[in-house]
Chains A and B, each alone.
Chain A
Amino acid sequence: MTGRRGPVMSPGMARLLVIAGLLAVWEIGARLYADPLFLCPPSQALVALQDIFADPKIVRAIEITIYEVVVAFVVSVSVGMAIGLVVGLQGFTKRAILPVILLLYAIPQATILPLFILSFGIGPAAKIAFGVSHGIFPVIVTTVAGVQNLRPTLLTAARSMGANRWQVFTSIIFPHMIPSFFTGMRLGMTLVLLGVLLAELYVSTAGIGFYTRLFAESFAPPDLFALISVLAAIAVTLNELCRTAERHFSRWHAN
């Protein structure tokens, strides 16, 4: 219980300092000890970033990956939410179908990756399908959980005041679902990225996963780290978008 006033530095500043410190340790460590075939200092990765954006093939690869992720994400969220609502809004379907969905969720998708490749080929279709197979389940499960959080009193109150189904959905069910809906979207986004990249790493002729593998196998760590940082930036941006939307739509929930 010391320092009620708190430290002088804002947490955001301190966070930046921590990141800068880690980068400095990496830079010094890599310069002094690392084998340049395996690890490079972050400054070299920064330089390699320019080469990467100068190469139209790699820019195209980044576009392909973003395209695959976006399509897979949109499909996962829309289909997943529809399934979640259908399953979650009724007690019986929830108890009967949800265990089946959880069972499917538990399947390690990586083991069926060869099947996706066999069925959809080595192009983007397989990556999108595999991304959806990852992303759809958290959306379903969190939608069901969100519907579950609904307090029955609210529903009864709304009905007794004469709300119709649509009004109940827009003013009670939907606002209540928002926090878990966005949690689901965030989880879904993470998993869609994972699925798409996993499929690209496994077999592909384009996309970030393909080049990551190529750079690793040709012992070019600066390019590899540059590409990973591009993807990390994309992932963090997408995540922050989801978080901002989540905060915006769940303001009413705060009090």
Chain B
Amino acid sequence: MKKSSRLPQHLVQLGILLAVLLAWYWATLPGGINHLLLPPPIPVFEGFWVLFTTDSIWPDLLVTVREWVSAVVIASVSGCVLGYIISRSNYAVRVFDPLLAGLYSIPAILLFPLYLLFFGLGPGSKIAIGTTIAFFPIVLNTIAGLAYVDKAYVTAARSMGASDLQLFWSVMLPAAFPVVLTGLRIGCIVAFLSILGGETISSLAGLGHRIVSLAENMESSRMFSNILFAVLMAIVINGIVSFAEARGRRGMQ
């Protein structure tokens, strides 16, 4: 039952994909869109495979991944710790939650020129911007998860004589975990996006840098191959993080 009802929706998805590819091919036939704006698909896919051999993407990829991992680690640790400390007291939540939410609404990318001054053109400024942007969803979700646990659970656990530690491990953490995980997932993704953004604006190496320098040299076909790679990478990261989130959620139950 389940399997047969899934087939049509996968067909629709496949159809959309094919339609996009066909439209792309058709638009780049002679007399179509300028190849500088949209190169034909076949050279793009050929260029994609070359990325792993002669036109090696590995050094740039390594730079971006290192920046990403550093930013995610710093933001997760600081965000979870700060979120936990704030969520300990209702008063602190009421003081800091709106403050952090307000800061979150400020587009941190504006700080990037400043970070360039502070940390230079290298990985430092990208780690800084990635950390800044990933920090807020993580800390806000940690607070939201821990501070807004249903009071009935807490009262019930208390009335059954749970200690602080027991309350935390058996009630607060399982109840808050999904929300905190969501924050971490968002943090991982926005860190990656903002690092790519930073690399696009100013950098010495990395995926974003590669794409921009190809764009500036008008090498559209190779640029598209690299964009394709970055898109696939983002999808893979998204998939891994969502998978980890789902696993973590199930693990807690």
Contacts and interface: CB of A to CB of B under 8 A. Distances in A.
Interface of A: 6-7, 11, 14-15, 18-19, 37-39, 92, 95-97, 99-100, 103, 106-115, 117-119, 186, 189-190, 193-194, 197-198, 201-202, 208-209, 212-213, 215-217, 219, 221, 224, 228, 231-232, 235-236, 238-240
B113 A224 contact: yes
10 contacts: A15-B98, A96-B13, A106-B235, A107-B234, A108-B231, A110-B208, A111-B196, A111-B211, A235-B106, A239-B105
B113 A202 contact: no
A194 B107 contact: yes
Given A107-B231, A111-B196, A190-B105, A95 B9 contact: yes
B77 interface: no
Contacts of A6: 91
Contacts of B113: 201, 212-213, 215-217, 224
B31 interface: no
A18 B234 contact: no
Contacts of B110: 197, 201, 208-209, 212, 228, 231-232
Interface residues of B, number: 54
B193 A118 contact: no
Contacts of A231: 106-107, 110
Interface of B: 6, 8-10, 12-13, 16, 36-37, 91, 94-96, 98-99, 101-102, 104-107, 109-114, 116-118, 189, 192-194, 196-197, 199-201, 207-208, 211-212, 215-216, 220, 223, 226-227, 230-231, 234-235, 238
A99 B12 CA distance: 11
Most buried by B among A99, A114, A189, A240: A114
Contacts of A100: 13, 16
B196 A110 contact: yes
B67 to A, nearest CB: 13
The 3 closest A-B pairs by CB, nearest first: A216-B113, A114-B215, A239-B105
B107 A216 contact: no
Contacts of B104: 190
Contacts of A208: 110
A221 B117 CA distance: 10
A99 B13 contact: yes
A39 B96 CA distance: 26
Nearest to A193: B107
Contacts of A118: 36-37, 215, 220
